[in-house]
């Protein structure tokens, strides 16, 4: 998965994975989030996770900071590791909620992420759709009629 900052095309987030979960005995995991500030010419890993099957990543367009010139908030949903949030445009990440890990449809399909223009975060997966009004701190279950795949 990839996400381009909707207000600054220089800033790109990419998910790295090699289609197998990482064993910590092998050393540092190459899986996780990679970040570019030069339109994907170069990359640095900013979050390592054991999930090797991808995930979902998205910038929050409502978090645009004119002084910085980019959207400051981004989210990453990993199938096993759950939901992470960045408040500095993708440079660093904090774990947020296990709801995302519980909602992956299978290890290849992490919970879906959508951010509204007003900053509401929606997460969808095997038990329906969840909404967060507080940037991923908590979720309410708003659609309970089955799995959401797309």
Residue 6 confidence (pLDDT) above 90 = yes
DSSP structural state of residue 119: -
Residue 38 confidence (pLDDT) above 90 = yes
Whether the Cβ atoms of residue 83 and residue 95 lie closer than 8 Å to each other: yes
Residues 6+ apart with CB under 8 A from 27: none
Tokens of 98: 């296990």
Residue 127 has what pLDDT? 92
Whether the Cβ atoms of residue 16 and residue 34 lie closer than 8 Å to each other: yes
Q: Where are the alpha helices (DSSP H) in the chain?
A: 99-102
Mean pLDDT for 122-133 is 94
Mean pLDDT for 87-104 is 91
Task: Please state the pTM of the whole predicted model.
Answer: 0.93
SS3 state at 26? helix
Q: Distance (Å, rounded) from C-alpha 10 to C-alpha 27?
A: 31
Its sign, for the CA torsion 126, 46, 90, 132, is positive
């Amino acid at each position: 998965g990839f996400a381009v900052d909707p207000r600054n095309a220089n800033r790109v987030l990419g998910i790295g994975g090699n289609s197998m979960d990482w064993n910590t005995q092998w050393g540092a995991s190459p899986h996780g989030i990679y970040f570019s500030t030069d339109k994907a010419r170069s990359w640095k890993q900013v979050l390592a996770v054991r999930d090797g099957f991808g995930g979902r990543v998205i910038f929050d367009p409502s978090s645009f900071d004119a002084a910085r010139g980019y959207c400051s908030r981004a989210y990453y949903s990993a199938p096993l590791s759950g939901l992470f949030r960045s408040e500095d445009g993708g440079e660093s990440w904090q774990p947020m909620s296990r709801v995302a890990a519980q909602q992956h449809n299978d290890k290849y399909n992490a919970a879906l992420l959508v951010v509204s223009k007003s900053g509401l975060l929606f997460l969808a997966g095997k038990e329906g759709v969840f909404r967060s009004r507080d940037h991923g701190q908590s979720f309410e279950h708003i659609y309970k009629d089955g799995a959401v795949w797309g």
